[in-house]
Amino acid sequence: MIELRVLGRESFLKLLKIVDHDGDSPDPPFLETYKKLFATADDPKNRAVATEEWKFPIIDFGRLTGGEAETKFCKKEICEAAKEWGFFQVVNHGVSKEILEKMRMEQVSLMRKPFREKIHGGDLGFDAGIYRWGTPSATSLKQLSWSEAFHICLNDVVESTANSDLRWAMKEFSIGVSELCYKLVDILAEAIDENPSFFREACSPSSSYLRLNRYPACPKAHQVFGITPHTDSDFITVLHQDHIGGLQLLRDGKWVAVNPNSDALIINIGDLFQAWSNDVYKSVKHRVVANPTMERFSTAFFFCPSYDTVIRGGAGESVYRSFSFGEYRNQVQEDVRVFGDKIGLPRFLLHTN
């Protein structure tokens, strides 16, 4: 989960002056707000070239309801993908096509509203602080994300006063992917002889998040990312992306494209699961490349614990010291503020060379 920040009061007032000239455009004023970064950029080369072609794991979740041998093999596939890739796709995942299509339709309708309405909350029923865009802390183009999002706590999904169709879509999507997450963590925990009840106790609607992403077409796509390279600060992320593509993950030092699959949900392991499993499962760095001509949409679900949940390594010698989720998030946010980027798990290693 990349750390996004809201604008301070002074920056927000400056932004309002810019917005006054943008009419009903849904796009945030990236060029105007970050014009100094573009003016001083000394590297115009495309930052997202030459991805490698790999056979990306696609797992049929429906096989878990097959015979004993088929179920065992499916679980093995899931665990191997989490260990070797940290990223995989699942089909027959239990979230209906109707819900996925409705979620996307309502999300597109929301995100295409005028920017001036989104920053104020307007008639959307969300607190203005839930809407984020760009990277206010960026001091160079390599730190700038050309994207916007509504980052919504699951409790707010249930309590939202947004239009009923949007509220229904978010709720049904969240219920479906939450159930998927619990099934996944049960399988992954049992495979390393850990008690999966930990996740039932630690993760709830009050601690997990839904993020509705839009990546506007970018005239400077050769200079910036849709979202800069990062790992997610959660246990598991479930992503539904549209047909445009642009998601890439880092494997063996090379960037690999995650091609769109309308029937699949993308699963990626987060930092917390890597620490909790003592590096058995991998949290993999990923990014979204900017597109010069087309907008892109994706919906992400972040499976998180409560802030006071303590993350401890399981059996064997611990790789990381114990830390709470709240401590981890605070450290990530502080590093982003000071260094412009996330450091993440290396901050919590017990032993360093």
- Per the residue annotation, which of 296, 329, 337, 347 is the catalytic one? 296
* Cross-strand pairs, 240: 299
Kindly tell me the burial class for residue 289, based on how many C-beta atoms sit within 10 Å of its own C-beta (0-12, 13-18, 19 or more): buried
| Known catalytic membership, residue 296 | yes
* Rounded-to-integer distance, Cα 112 and Cα 126, Å: 15
Identify residue 136 by its one-letter amino acid code. Answer: P
Sheet of strand 58-60, all strands in order from the earlier edge strand to the far edge: 58-60, 87-91, 265-269, 236-241, 296-303, 209-215, 148-153, 131-133
* Rounded-to-integer distance, Cα 240 and Cα 213, Å: 10
Identify residue 347 by its one-letter amino acid code. Answer: R
Q: 163, 218 in Cβ contact below 8 A?
A: no
Structure tokens at 163: 């239009």
Q: 302, 346 in Cβ contact below 8 A?
A: no
Annotated catalytic sites, by residue? 296
